Amino acid sequence: MADNDLRKELNEKSLDIMADILDPYFELMKDPEFTKLFMSNITEAIKYACKHHKKETIQIAAILSEKKEDEFVVNPFATPMVLLSAIGMYSEAGQNLFISQVQNTEEASSGSAMENTEASEQSENS
């Protein structure tokens, strides 16, 4: 019984962390230079984010460290590794998710989930 409670608590905490990380990730993906680097070289993408998107980088690192943003202190050795593992984890699947998110915000949506799904499938098959 205790294992199920612990598993449920861990799952809920993990989902909360994932949900919190999405906003700063989507902000990063709006930057065409970051997106280009993200698709070709994760290490360069992280370096770029650290230099040009300090707020989002700190938000992501703080969330992953389970600290509030105003309490988080950047560790120049540990923080890049945290970001590398997080962004690297999403690199292939994340590229598809985040790039499609950026494209969706740039394209007009019909408002219909079915039409948007069909349009997305058609563009993937082209």
- pLDDT tens readout for residues 57-71: 999 889 888 888 888
For residue range 80-124, list pLDDT tens digits in order. 788 877 766 555 555 555 555 555 555 544 444 445 455 555 555
Give the pTM.
0.62
Total domains, the chain: 1
Query: Could you tell me the CA-to-CA distances from 114 to 9, 103, 108, 117, 119 in Å, in that order?
Result: 34, 17, 15, 5, 9
Which domain range does residue 92 map to? 2-125
Rounded to whole angstroms, the Cα distance separating 102 from 30 reads: 6
Of all residues in the chain, the percent with pLDDT exceeding 90 is 17
